[in-house]
């Protein structure tokens, strides 16, 4: 694991706490939505959305997931090297002989997106290799990876005729499952169903069909098919507010990750003095400033400068001035003596307040996925015991970020 070298100094400057009990809880919650025969593929790409792929993969498998999904060959190899034997689906698309040979060697199951790519795979594999299970992707409206759904029959028949390959599943991916308007989602499902019907008419019954990401999994069991591919919800976040706020669809998902850091210096500045690069914060009155050892090189977006709050002893205090590469400043005037070494919470819960990746995402116009993936390897990942989270707190207005201004 590439972050192991950092683990000799956990909980020192800044770190990510990963609650694997919360993860297991989320897996069980999601499993509870699925029919018994439906498989749960835990998407652990991008180092499990910043949570650490090995711990997450092991926990998810113990809690009821049966497949793992990765984006790159190296991500798959990292899991195999850790001794994980579960089937691994490579969601990305690869072409080079070196990657194809690695896939065969480490028994990672690739996604194939065109007849030509399938031919390259078949020609690269030697007859000594056992048949490689492959997953055929259809494009039903995302326009990213996959053969056109209208060509499903030709594509599948082509792959079936090639040596060294076995079709393990046919799948597609939604473009808009997290939007309020579901029109496109159902159109995509319709295209997928038509492609499957065309295959069946030719006597082809793929052993596994799958279509749903987190949003589609939470939305409707008609979208589950034989397997669902769940990322974000595993990590305890809802794909969009309407998933969390709709009582019909609400699950009890618990955030898995918290980001913490220590105060490194505390000082008092006078009215009129500026803080941080560009002096984008000017003190209106005498202000107690706490410097914290975490910055944008750790994954705190610089766009949050002057627009985020940080939890100190269960109280939300404003971050002030530009977020710098390795450090940021807080206004702690409202608190009793804060000392260097004090631990503050950037994301997570402290007292009655929870700050979530979704709050940061909303404040800077991005999505929770990008916030989670942004936490860099220089933040050690520390496993923690479950913090008992009170569900009612997630909608506490106290956790709202201050408005821009």
Catalytic residues, by residue number, are 45, 277
Q: At its nearest, how many Å lie between ligand PLP and the CB of residue 104? A: 22
> 43 or 61: whose CB is closer to ligand PLP?
43
Stretch that binds ligand PLP, among 55-63, 231-239, 259-267, 355-363 (CB under 6 A): 231-239
- Ramachandran angles phi, psi of 135, nearest 5°: -120, 120
Q: At its nearest, how many Å lie between ligand PLP and the CB of residue 148? A: 17
Which residue from 91, 308, 329, 401 is in contact with ligand PLP, where contact means CB under 6 A?
91
- Ramachandran angles phi, psi of 23, nearest 5°: -60, -45
> 44 or 283: whose CB is closer to ligand PLP?
44
Contact 117, 93 (CB under 8 A): yes
Which residue from 50, 52, 141, 231 is in contact with ligand PLP, where contact means CB under 6 A?
231
Contact 278, 256 (CB under 8 A): no
String of b and e for 131-149 (b: at least 16 CB within 10 Å)? ebbbbbbbbbbbeebbbeb
CA pair distance 240, 17, nearest whole angstrom: 23
Our finding on whether 230 is near ligand PLP (CB under 6 A) is yes
List of residues 6+ apart from 206 with CB closer than 8 A: 136, 156, 167, 169, 170, 196, 199
Q: Return the number of other C-beta atoms located less than 10 Å from residue 83's C-beta.
A: 8
- Write down the residue that tokens 């909608």 correspond to: 395
CA pair distance 115, 162, nearest whole angstrom: 10
Our finding on whether 173 is near ligand PLP (CB under 6 A) is yes
- The reply, when asked if residue 80 is annotated as ligand binding, is no
CA 194 to chain centre: 31
- The reply, when asked if residue 325 is annotated as ligand binding, is yes
Strands (E), 278-384: 281-282, 287-292, 309-312, 315-320, 328-331, 343-350, 353-355, 381-384
Q: At its nearest, how many Å lie between ligand PLP and the CB of residue 231? A: 3
Q: At its nearest, how many Å lie between ligand PLP and the CB of residue 178? A: 7
Stretch that binds ligand PLP, among 116-124, 229-237, 265-273, 311-319 (CB under 6 A): 229-237
Stretch that binds ligand PLP, among 4-12, 80-88, 223-231, 395-403 (CB under 6 A): 223-231
Nearest to 90 by CA among 75, 79, 78: 75
Contact 257, 46 (CB under 8 A): no
Angle at 105 between CA 85 and CA 373, to 5 degrees: 60
Token output for 107: 């028994």
Which residue from 43, 108, 138, 292 is in contact with ligand PLP, where contact means CB under 6 A?
43
Q: What is the DSSP letter of 82?
A: T
Q: At its nearest, how many Å lie between ligand PLP and the CB of residue 137? A: 8
Our finding on whether 229 is near ligand PLP (CB under 6 A) is yes
Which residue from 114, 213, 291, 307 is in contact with ligand PLP, where contact means CB under 6 A?
213
Q: At its nearest, how many Å lie between ligand PLP and the CB of residue 237? A: 9
**Residue closest to ligand PLP (Cβ):** 231
> 172 or 345: whose CB is closer to ligand PLP?
172
> 243 or 296: whose CB is closer to ligand PLP?
243
Contact 208, 168 (CB under 8 A): yes
Our finding on whether 112 is near ligand PLP (CB under 6 A) is no
Kindly list the distances between the CA atom of residue 134 and the CA atoms of 1, 38, 57, 128, 207, in Å, as whole numbers in the listed order.
Answer: 27, 19, 21, 17, 11
> 71 or 382: whose CB is closer to ligand PLP?
71
- Number of shown-chain residues binding ligand PLP (CB under 6 A): 11
Q: At its nearest, how many Å lie between ligand PLP and the CB of residue 404? A: 27
Our finding on whether 288 is near ligand PLP (CB under 6 A) is no
Which residue from 132, 232, 357, 379 is in contact with ligand PLP, where contact means CB under 6 A?
232
Nearest to 134 by CA among 185, 94, 174: 94
Tabulate helix, strand, coil % of the chain (nearest 5): 35, 25, 40
> 92 or 351: whose CB is closer to ligand PLP?
92
Which residue from 124, 214, 276, 394 is in contact with ligand PLP, where contact means CB under 6 A?
214
> 257 or 308: whose CB is closer to ligand PLP?
257
What does the binding site for ligand PLP look like in residue numbers (CB under 6 A)? 43, 45, 91, 173, 213-214, 229-232, 239
Annotated binding site for substrate: 144, 325
Q: Which residues are annotated as a binding site?
A: 144, 325
């Amino acid at each position: 694991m590439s972050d192991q070298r950092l683990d000799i100094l956990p909980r020192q400057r800044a770190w990510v706490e990963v609650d694997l009990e919360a993860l297991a809880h989320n897996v069980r919650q999601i499993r509870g939505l699925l029919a018994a025969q439906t498989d749960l593929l835990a998407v652990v790409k991008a180092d499990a959305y910043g949570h650490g792929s090995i711990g997450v993969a092991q926990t998810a498998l113990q809690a009821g997931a049966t497949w793992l999904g990765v984006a790159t060959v190296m991500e798959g190899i990292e899991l195999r090297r850790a001794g994980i034997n579960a089937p691994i689906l490579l969601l990305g698309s690869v072409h080079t002989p070196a990657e194809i040979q690695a896939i065969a060697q480490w028994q990672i199951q690739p996604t194939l997106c065109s007849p030509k790519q399938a031919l390259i795979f078949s020609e690269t594999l030697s007859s000594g290799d056992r048949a490689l299970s492959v997953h055929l992707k259809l494009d039903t409206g995302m326009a990213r990876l996959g053969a056109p759904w209208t060509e499903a029959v030709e594509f599948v028949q082509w792959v079936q005729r090639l040596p060294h390959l076995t079709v393990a599943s046919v799948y597609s991916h939604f473009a808009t499952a997290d939007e309020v308007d579901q029109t496109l989602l159902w159109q995509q499902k319709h295209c997928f169903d038509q492609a499957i019907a065309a295959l069946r008419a030719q006597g082809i019954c793929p052993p596994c069909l799958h279509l749903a990401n987190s949003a589609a999994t939470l939305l409707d069991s008609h979208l589950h098919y034989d397997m669902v591919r769940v990322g974000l919800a595993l990590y305890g976040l809802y794909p969009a507010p309407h998933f969390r706020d709709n009582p019909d669809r609400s699950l009890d998902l618990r955030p898995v990750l918290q980001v913490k850091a220590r105060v490194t210096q505390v000082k008092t500045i006078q009215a009129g003095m500026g803080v941080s690069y560009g002096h984008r914060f000017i003190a209106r009155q005498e202000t107690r400033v706490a410097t914290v050892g975490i910055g944008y090189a750790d994954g705190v977006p610089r766009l949050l400068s002057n627009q985020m709050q940080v939890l100190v002893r269960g109280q939300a205090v404003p971050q002030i001035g530009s977020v710098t590469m390795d450090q940021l400043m807080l206004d702690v005037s409202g608190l009793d003596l804060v000392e260097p070494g004090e631990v503050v919470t950037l994301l997570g819960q402290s007292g009655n307040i929870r700050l979530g990746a979704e709050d940061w995402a909303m404040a800077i116009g991005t999505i929770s996925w990008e916030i989670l993936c942004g936490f860099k390897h220089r933040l050690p990942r520390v496993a923690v015991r479950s913090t008992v989270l009170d569900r009612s707190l997630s909608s506490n207005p106290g956790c709202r970020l201050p408005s821009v201004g």
